[in-house]
Amino acid sequence: MMEAQTWTTRRMSNPRLDSTATADHQLLDIPATPTGDVRNSIYSVGSHLSPNLLTALIVASWFMSNIGVLLLNKYLLSFYGYRYPIFLTMLHMISCASYSYIAINFLEIVPRQHIVSRKQFLKIFALSAIFCFSVVCGNTSLRYIPVSFNQAIGATTPFFTAIFAFLITCKKESAEVYCALLPVVFGIVLASNSEPLFNLFGFLVCVGSTAGRALKSVVQGILLTSEAEKLHSMNLLLYMAPMAAMILLPFTLYIEGNVASITLEKARTDPFIVYLLVGNATVAYLVNLTNFLVTKHTSALTLQVLGNGKAAVAAFVSVMIFRNPVTVMGMAGFGVTITGVVLYSEAKKRSKVTTH
């Protein structure tokens, strides 16, 4: 009886247009939580662990994968000298498609869902295009700006989500919710003005990535509305990833040249690049897998809270590893932005209680 109560809470905590959702560069939005049968069948190995320990391990894995993919991307693109963000993103998509196929068809993590119509296919393709734009911009920004600044900009996702929700769906929020967005914007302005390694192009593409992530969240809530068209997050990734790879292929060939041959030639002289790329692509898939697991074992709201904390942890870890300079004013701006995101989340929760 207690399980049923928790299950209801999780479903109610996952609205389609919740603009408090946070994301990272590889993060997909979480659709409706899986059914009870799926929940009971997934990862039966977890039954040998206590629920609290299992949840703690999953949350730790979520932190490590989300922060790990950021640090690996930064190292590859800025320090190692692998300056091909589009090709790197395409490798991520190929990895996600391959691992998703194995996880769904062989490990049966979730039941396989099929695309039921040409209309649904086109909707998923549109989401894939937005997803490509967001991820490529995010990875490209890491070539030019520090991870800490990248995460500060990424924390403004709720601001863009609220804007797109209003422009596309005419969804209005309460005055309290909009007021909570002010420190989000003010904090990033403060951080930008005091960022020692500020780069205008890196800043703009990172803003584009954040806006693209917010746009995908809103558009997904509009396009995949009917029960027949809704896909579980893992199935959505299974279809979006190969579409995204096909979208990126002509761009990487046109913009980055014969990058595959360059990578193979590099691998002959330095085999370490193979381990870096394979590891990086694998961690990119684990970001999506752990997103699903965190939601399954906790709730979508918990994922949002963790997203706020992850930005601060990733910024701190990157500064410790890459030793990029930071200023007191920059840290204060980041703190103001994170505080604004938390206030925004609380205001959204209060507005929902009032409307219900």
The per-residue pLDDT for 301 is: 64
* Residue ranges making up the domain that contains 288: 51-355
40 in a structural domain = no
What's the chain's Rg over C-alpha atoms?
A: 20
Q: Tell me the average pLDDT across 165-181.
A: 85
Token digits of residue 326: 């930071």
C-alpha span between 181 and 185 (Å, rounded): 7
The per-residue pLDDT for 355 is: 62
Q: How far apart are the first and last CA of the chain?
A: 24
Number of domains observed in the structure of the chain: 1
Banded model confidence at residue 21, pLDDT cuts 50, 70, 90: very low
pLDDT digits (tens, 9 = 90+) for 29-86: 444 555 555 444 444 444 566 888 888 898 899 999 999 999 999 999 999 989 999 9
9 in a structural domain = no
5 in a structural domain = no
11 in a structural domain = no
144 in a structural domain = yes
Q: Tell me the average pLDDT across 300-313.
A: 76
Percent of the chain with pLDDT over 90: 42
The per-residue pLDDT for 172 is: 81
17 in a structural domain = no
Closest CA to 124 of 250, 273, 240: 240
Residue 33's contacts (CB-CB under 8 Å, 6 or more residues apart) are 7, 10, 11, 14, 39, 295, 296, 300
The per-residue pLDDT for 241 is: 94
| Structure-derived torsion over alpha carbons of residues 135, 300, 233, 17, reported in degrees to the nearest 10 | -70
Q: What is the DSSP letter of 33?
A: P
339 in a structural domain = yes
Contact 126, 191 (CB under 8 A): no
C-alpha span between 157 and 155 (Å, rounded): 5
pLDDT digits (tens, 9 = 90+) for 198-213: 999 999 999 999 999 9
Range name among 89-98, 280-289, 294-303, 337-346 with the lowest pLDDT average: 294-303
Contact 337, 183 (CB under 8 A): yes
Contact 84, 252 (CB under 8 A): yes
The most confident of the ranges 28-32, 80-84, 137-141, 340-344 is 137-141
pLDDT digits (tens, 9 = 90+) for 215-260: 988 888 887 776 777 788 889 899 999 999 999 999 999 999 889 9
| pTM exceeds 0.85, yes or no | no
Vertex 103: Cα angle to 296 and 228 (nearest 5): 65
pLDDT digits (tens, 9 = 90+) for 72-122: 999 999 999 899 999 999 999 999 999 999 999 999 888 998 988 888 899
179 in a structural domain = yes
